Structure 1
């Protein structure tokens, strides 16, 4: 453990103007606050915050950040209050400590809720001052280094998994690659101990068998560049175990089949020399196609710049080479922390999230996630993915994960653009919104103010930001539609009551049902978490009796006009009702209404099987109802052009083919099931009559 004077001297070495008194006060206060507390290893607890501070001195961070590291556990693990920290160390340090502090005292119902709440507070604090993230990463790194002292295996695995899913990707996002690699290696050892042991054993065997092969290759690269007039520092290493294992798992190959397990770093004097070095290397050794990446002209989202290439070296050995300038190397070593390094006695500006727009994306996810599970899922998606580059029509660069679609691109540019997307152009060609964007594509989003996010987009989008925004919109839409449906159902219930309601009947009913407001009542009715009888009894005690219900007047069918299929109700796929069909609704607790045509063959079976849990509603389409999808079976002659004729007839009648499936085929006929979008039953009947009149059609039936 670092002594007090050793820690202070480390800071003064790179910042002679640092607030020495602040560091001394923080050291003494933290030691006294933690007192006799012990860690799982048996060491004094105070050793942990000091080691965290020591890690941050290697990154040359400012005195406020070092003091925060020393104090970061005092509020959580001692009797110290945030007010006391602010009084003794100032508002900046107090704000940073509060940002790092975990919410260990919250009363959560599950590990996911606790983890999500901790993550929520941490990300909000990080967006305000990125130094919170630097302290947290150092804190997590030291905890991972001492993880083996924790006795419970399940706790070790939980911490390791959280590190792999959240903190290692965060370290990567701010360019702190050494932090990321060490976290991944330590977490990998805990999560997959057998795989870790296998990879490290084989790496050791390879090192023994190959002798100083890495040194020889590095020396050869340096000699080659020297002959080209380029002064370069060249170093080499094996890739870390988790990186190797991930490649083995991703490519489904064995360790022996993995050829690129060595990586070399070439550090030169300038950007120009980076490209000269690349040319010299490619002239000497053949390049592996598809393995060259220019992060100088198109930096990573975290600001990382370098040239990456893989070449075939001697004996068909494939090696990766990274080429960068000294400035790029410093930024790659320290990542975001390089912005707080002391250069020529002048400290860079601190605080704020700078140009790291991904932090804003994470904060936006905080605002849209409805559940702890959703927050954790979307945050992992936003942080942990391989990236591609795509361009707007104006040439602006947007980074996305591999597999992203125009929906993801639109939400990455702006949430409103995503909400209003109706189509896309990739490289000038109109494509579906489900098209996967390739690296370097130019993407233009077609928008309409009449558009809104669709449920089907959840199967297309892959980024956390897009999924969070879509789900938020759908939740709001679902609530609005449940309020509309609940109002119609409540009016129906009131119409069946034996007498007129008193003016304050609804207020009394809410108290009896223990609901906060009328909106909660309407949603409960729509989702059938309250039965009609329970609502009647709450509105008018004694009214839910069988005799009174039987004497209630007949009411009109409840209209589903204005409600959206898939949100407040679902059109049954067994009978595919369309406007004009007589329909009924099947209600199940905590689910939407399932709408069936009255002639549906499975209706009786559904009623018998779930009679105790379900209610039936008399429904109507309402005037000018929107269209729906009908399913028809069309038997046509087995001859060229027959199916084209069917499609032509459907198009002439202004219907749209949604899906087509070949069911049976023989020498004379083949039968197809066709889903067609129609306005109403009348249009469907006209279409079926026209199909029957076609020469190539033998029979048409509605399914």
Structure 2
């Protein structure tokens, strides 16, 4: 690429005196980088030149383009910011300084020009994402340069090692592409996604690319045909429009294919692979154009979206519809004005086009309101990694848009609940929340909000605070990290003794669930990075650590089962099941029906006289009282297989109508089969449910028992053996 190409593109929207600044910046950068080469083998100046060209596509101002050309000069040529300030002015120097500070520690793993590799990559990524977002609040142009910088690095990623390529691509998919999306820069967003997709999943990337290429000519002919028909219809109605085919990028098609495959549909059924874009002069023409499309071809029910009346938070506006064109072929049509199209392609970057033209984009602050909110949130976060998690879950996930009773639109992560909404509005509203309404009807607090709903929070006047159940990930009360942080903060303020006692009680109950009698609490605390057992138990008490996390950690540590009796032989055999037997010859294995062990349990084998090895839990009543200890052999679960194991549970609950239905519903939601169930009514107005289920692993059983505990009226849940003995 030559500077003449950049100059020609910039000359279409910049005045001549600004082009002079641009040329001076290029000459300065070229001299500073003289003799330097990139790992791809090209002269280093190619990189800043390509970054500036990408920003010229966004029609950014001369200061931003100049800073893009100079952004690597301080670090790579040992030139001070004072020198840049003196030659190019304070605005350019400030932007170069902002980009330089972000580049000193690359986001995540070291990219090809990073100067400080190593260290905690996750923490480094989190800290620098925080810096980037704070820099955005001060001057968004710094992040435009950073996005363009990442875009060109992704285009030349082939020069790096496979490990670095994948690491950088993963970060691009998780951070940079979503950031471009939230800023509304569609042109960069889809290209970053496709480039990352290529390195993260090359097999599916080639599959989608081949599918698209194989039908390219056919699709182009079809789009030309329907475009001509539609253009003629618009002309008949006196509407001046511009009709063009809209490209669909590969990662988006792959996501659609995955979604449609789960519904038994094929690639040909994806209606928005074939798409047209219609550009008109004003808003009334948008609605007029959609009316013409619907009168010409039959609209697909439920496929019309009005983003003009209800713009997305990043400023995107358009009308989307889908029709069955020419009889049986699905076709998506997007209709928008020319100005809407420019904002759709370049997002908040378009703000600078109007600013430099002497106009002010009055909606600009609204479009980055989510960013201002985020900067406020990060002050409450305990550390950089929590902040990163909050950004990924609350900002970069798919969104749902709902309204307050006053008509204000709020965007939340997809799957958000009324509790998430309440904490988004105000911490105190969340703490006092006792119910919610969506579109005027009462909904449960674990209800997943839907686009367009008006949400109203019902509160109590008492200072009761949130429920601990809201922190239980298995119960689905909250989705966003922001709400979780606010709830945790409330519980942290409660009495130390209360949290300590509750944490101890929850841990003891969970240990019984998973059949572990004793555990070194200080050692366990250290695995969760707490100084001592008390601090750890308090964290469980106020919800910072869930008992499910504890059980998963304990189970993962038990890779080798404890041996009750040393093996009496030394021959290592093979096993014909998912249980491997050590210390004996090749024998078949059977699961003992007295204790029903499942993968994850500590197990031991008993050599029978004619049925091979029977596998028991190590705490099984029959094993503990076995007299012929020489028949016991060491066994392991071996390689995991998709097998089902019976597991019996005894539930004690207050008797009420609907109890059995609620229990059955929870089991069904976990996709677990019930082999048998007996219900016994007791004299003390309680009910005992004895249930045998089919499960795949101990972790699945633990998750089920945690969810069953959340059912109203449950007193206790225990796993039992076939002989009725409780575990633990």
TM-score by length of 1: 0.68
Partner secondary structure for residue 450 of structure 2: coil
Instruction: Report the equivalent of 1:467.
Output: 481
Query: Is it true that 1:118 corresponds to 2:112 in the alignment?
Result: no
Instruction: Report the equivalent of 2:159.
Output: 149
Query: What is the rounded CA distance, in whole Å, between the counterparts of 2:173 and 2:383 in structure 1?
Result: 21
Q: Name the CA shift for 1:196/1:43 in 2 (closer, same or farther; >3 Å).
A: same
CA contact (8 A) 2:151 2:188 kept: yes
RMSD (CA atoms): 3.9
Runs of 4+ with deviation above 6 angstroms = 349-352, 666-670, 674-678
CA contact (8 A) 1:171 1:177 kept: yes
Gaps of 5+ in 1: 486-559, 577-583, 596-608, 610-630, 636-641, 648-660, 679-683, 685-702
Shift of 1:159: 1.4
Instruction: Report the equivalent of 1:652.
Output: none
Instruction: Report the equivalent of 2:315.
Output: 303
Alignment of 1:436-515 (within 5 A): 436-448=448-460, 450-458=463-471, 459=473, 460=476, 466-471=480-485, 474=488, 477-478=491-492, 485=496
Gaps of 5+ in 2: 106-114, 513-517, 526-532, 541-561, 563-649, 661-673, 690-707, 716-727
Shift of 1:414: 3.4
Alpha-carbon deviations, 1:230-257, whole Å to 9, x = none? 2211111442111110011123244244
TM-score by length of 2: 0.66
2:251 is aligned, of 232, 236, 242, to: 242
CA contact (8 A) 1:40 1:149 kept: yes
Q: Name the CA shift for 1:643/1:301 in 2 (closer, same or farther; >3 Å).
A: closer
Shift of 1:587: 4.8
Query: Is it true that 1:386 corresponds to 2:408 in the alignment?
Result: no
Query: Is it true that 1:570 corresponds to 2:583 in the alignment?
Result: no
Shift of 1:7: 3.9
Partner secondary structure for residue 277 of structure 2: strand
Aligned residues: 539
Q: Name the CA shift for 1:587/1:475 in 2 (closer, same or farther; >3 Å).
A: farther
Query: Is it true that 1:61 corresponds to 2:73 in the alignment?
Result: no
Instruction: Report the equivalent of 1:491.
Output: none
Q: Name the CA shift for 1:267/1:20 in 2 (closer, same or farther; >3 Å).
A: closer
Partner secondary structure for residue 321 of structure 1: strand
CA contact (8 A) 1:174 1:335 kept: yes
Alignment of 1:364-443 (within 5 A): 364-443=376-455
Alpha-carbon deviations, 1:538-574, whole Å to 9, x = none? xxxxxxxxxxxxxxxxxxxxxx4x4466557636327
Shift of 1:214: 1.2
Alpha-carbon deviations, 1:325-352, whole Å to 9, x = none? 1221222222212111159953657999
Query: What is the rounded CA distance, in whole Å, between the counterparts of 2:658 and 2:457 in structure 1?
Result: 35
Instruction: Report the equivalent of 2:547.
Output: none
CA contact (8 A) 1:127 1:352 kept: no
CA contact (8 A) 2:500 2:537 kept: no
Alpha-carbon deviations, 1:597-633, whole Å to 9, x = none? xxxxxxxxxxxx9xxxxxxxxxxxxxxxxxxxxx994
Query: What is the rounded CA distance, in whole Å, between the counterparts of 1:210 and 1:134 in structure 2?
Result: 34
Q: Name the CA shift for 1:278/1:672 in 2 (closer, same or farther; >3 Å).
A: same
Query: What is the rounded CA distance, in whole Å, between the counterparts of 2:412 and 2:301 in structure 1?
Result: 22
CA contact (8 A) 1:144 1:160 kept: yes
Shift of 1:387: 3.0
CA contact (8 A) 2:680 2:688 kept: no
Partner secondary structure for residue 38 of structure 1: coil
Q: Name the CA shift for 1:586/1:124 in 2 (closer, same or farther; >3 Å).
A: same
Shift of 1:22: 3.9
Instruction: Report the equivalent of 2:580.
Output: none
Q: Name the CA shift for 1:80/1:461 in 2 (closer, same or farther; >3 Å).
A: farther
Query: What is the rounded CA distance, in whole Å, between the counterparts of 1:475 and 1:99 in structure 2?
Result: 33
Instruction: Report the equivalent of 1:213.
Output: 222
Partner secondary structure for residue 300 of structure 1: coil
